[in-house]
C-alpha cells in the first residue's frame, strides 16, 4: 500500500505539471484565439463581442494566477473549453467523437505487438543461437528504428496503391453508417489493418528483446535447474516455469509501450487520414485551435498516467517481492 500511495503521489504531481504546462504554453505563443477570430471576421466583431470571447476563452485581463485557478477548476469539472475551429462545440464533444477510433487503433496494435513480441522472445530464448535468435532481433530493431510516418507511407504505397489490398484512407468506406453489424465491422477491420500493422512493425522488436532477455535471466534461477533435474520436458520448463515468471517485467512494459503506441497512433492517423484524435490534433494545429490542442494533449497525458498507475497496482498484486520492499 505504501508503494501504491508513493506512486500515486508521483502521478498526481506529473498530472499537475501537465495541467500547468497546458495552461502556460498557449499563452506564451504569439497571438491568441480571439485575435484570430477577429481577423477572420474582417473587423465585423464589436468590442463587446471581443470582450465576451476573451472571457469565454479565459484570456481576459485578469491576473495570470486567477486565470490559472479558473482553468484548473474547469479541468476538474470536465470543462475543457470551446473549440475555435468548430465553434461553439465544446472540446469534450470533439474529443469524445474521435477518441474511440484512437483507442481501437492503439489497443489493437498494443495487444498484437505484446503477444507476438513476447512469443517470439520466449522461442528465441529457448533456442539461443538459432535462426530466430540470431536474425530476428537485429531485423526488428532495424525496422523499429524507422519513424512511424515513414513506414506508414511505405505500407500505404505498397499495399494500398500498388497492390490494392487495403483501403487508402479513413476508418470505413464513405456511405456506410456506423453500427454493430457484420458489413460495417468487416469494413472497419479492413481499414484498421494497415495502420495497426505499421505500429506493430515499429514496436514488436522491443517486446521481443525484452522478453528474450528476461527469459535468459530467469533460466539461470535455481527453480529452473531443479525442474531440469526432475526430468521435466523442455517445453514444460519453458512455458510453465520460465515464461510465467519472465512475463512479470512485461507487465510494466505495457505502460511504457502505451506511450509509444499513442505517439505512433497520432502520426499514423495523419498518414492514413484515420479519424482519431491524432488526425484531429493536426487539424487543430493548422487552424490554431488552442483549446482543442490543450484538450487533446491533456487527454493523452491523463490516459497514459492512469494506465501506468493501474499497471503499478496490478504489478504489486502479481509480484509479492515488490510489496516486501
- Give the pLDDT band (50/70/90) at residue 260: low
Task: Give the domains, in start order, of the chain with CATH numbers.
Answer: 2-76 (no CATH), 91-319 (1.10.3720.10)
**pLDDT tens figures, 55-71:** 666 666 667 777 788 88
Mark 77-92 as b/e (b = at least 16 C-beta within 10 Å). eeebbbbbbbeeebbe
CB 93 within 8 A of CB 280: no
How crowded is residue 21: how many other Cβ atoms within 10 Å of its Cβ?
A: 13
CB 311 within 8 A of CB 189: no
CB 227 within 8 A of CB 244: no
Residue range 293-316: average pLDDT? 82
> Percent of the chain scored above 90 by pLDDT?
0
Top-confidence range, 114-118, 124-128, 239-243, 257-261: 114-118
Residue range 30-59: average pLDDT? 61
d(CA 114, CA 253): 9
d(CA 40, CA 59): 18
- Give the pLDDT band (50/70/90) at residue 9: confident
- Whether the per-residue pLDDT at 72 is higher than 60: the answer is yes
CB 260 within 8 A of CB 201: no
Least Cα distance to 298 among 65, 35, 74, 63 occurs for 74
pLDDT at 33: 61
d(CA 268, CA 282): 12
Contacts of 74 (CB under 8 A, 6+ apart): 58, 80, 81
How crowded is residue 273: how many other Cβ atoms within 10 Å of its Cβ?
A: 12
Q: Which residue has the cell 476573451?
A: 54
By CB atoms closer than 10 A (0-12, 13-18, 19+), residue 103 is middle
**pLDDT tens figures, 216-244:** 888 777 777 787 787 777 778 777 777 77
- Whether the per-residue pLDDT at 45 is higher than 70: the answer is no
CB 92 within 8 A of CB 80: yes
**DSSP letter, residue 176:** P
What residues form DSSP beta bridges with 206? none
**pLDDT tens figures, 138-172:** 888 888 787 777 888 888 888 888 888 888 888 88
- Whether the per-residue pLDDT at 322 is higher than 70: the answer is no
d(CA 209, CA 207): 6
- Give the pLDDT band (50/70/90) at residue 280: confident
Q: Residues 117, 118, 119, CA angle at the centre, nearest 5°?
A: 90
Choice among 26-40, 162-176, 200-214, 258-272 with the minimum mean pLDDT: 26-40
d(CA 317, CA 287): 46
**Residue ranges in the chain assigned as alpha helix (H):** 2-28, 33-40, 47-56, 64-76, 91-126, 131-144, 148-155, 182-219, 222-229, 234-236, 244-246, 248-272, 277-286, 290-318, 320-324
Residue range 244-261: average pLDDT? 73
pLDDT at 123: 84
Supply the pTM of this predicted model: 0.79
Residue 82 sits at φ, ψ, to 5 deg, of -110, 135
Amino acid at each position: 500500500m505504501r508503494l501504491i500511495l508513493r506512486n500515486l503521489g508521483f502521478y498526481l504531481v506529473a498530472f499537475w505539471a501537465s495541467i500547468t504546462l497546458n495552461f502556460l504554453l498557449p499563452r506564451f505563443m504569439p497571438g491568441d484565439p480571439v485575435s484570430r477570430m477577429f481577423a477572420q471576421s474582417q473587423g465585423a466583431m464589436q468590442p463587446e463581442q471581443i470582450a465576451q470571447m476573451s472571457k469565454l476563452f479565459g484570456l481576459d485581463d485578469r491576473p495570470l494566477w486567477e486565470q490559472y485557478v479558473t482553468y484548473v477548476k474547469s479541468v476538474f469539472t470536465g470543462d475543457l473549453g470551446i473549440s475555435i475551429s468548430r465553434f461553439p462545440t465544446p472540446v469534450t464533444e470533439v474529443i469524445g467523437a474521435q477518441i474511440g477510433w484512437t483507442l481501437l487503433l492503439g489497443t489493437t496494435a498494443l495487444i498484437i505487438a505484446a503477444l507476438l513480441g513476447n512469443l517470439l522472445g520466449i522461442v528465441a530464448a529457448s533456442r539461443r543461437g538459432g535462426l530466430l535468435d540470431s536474425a530476428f532481433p537485429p531485423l526488428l530493431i532495424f525496422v523499429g528504428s524507422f519513424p512511424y510516418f515513414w513506414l506508414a507511407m511505405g505500407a500505404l504505397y505498397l499495399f494500398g496503391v500498388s497492390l490494392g489490398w487495403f483501403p487508402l484512407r479513413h476508418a470505413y468506406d464513405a456511405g456506410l453508417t456506423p453500427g454493430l453489424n457484420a458489413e460495417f465491422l468487416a469494413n472497419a477491420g479492413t481499414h484498421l489493418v494497415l495502420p495497426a500493422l505499421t505500429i506493430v512493425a515499429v514496436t514488436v522488436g522491443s517486446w521481443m528483446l525484452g522478453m528474450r532477455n528476461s527469459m535468459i535471466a530467469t533460466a539461470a534461477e535455481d527453480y529452473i535447474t531443479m525442474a531440469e533435474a526432475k526430468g521435466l520436458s523442455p517445453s514444460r520448463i519453458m512455458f510453465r516455469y520460465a515464461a510465467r515468471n519472465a512475463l512479470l517485467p512485461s507487465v510494466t512494459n505495457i505502460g511504457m509501450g502505451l506511450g509509444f503506441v499513442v505517439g505512433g497512433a497520432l502520426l499514423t492517423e495523419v498518414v492514413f487520414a484515420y479519424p482519431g484524435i491524432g488526425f484531429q490534433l493536426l487539424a487543430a494545429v493548422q487552424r490554431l485551435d488552442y483549446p482543442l490542442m490543450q484538450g487533446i494533449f491533456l487527454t493523452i497525458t491523463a490516459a497514459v498516467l492512469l494506465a501506468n498507475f493501474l499497471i503499478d497496482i496490478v504489478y504489486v498484486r502479481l509480484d509479492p517481492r515488490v510489496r516486501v520492499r
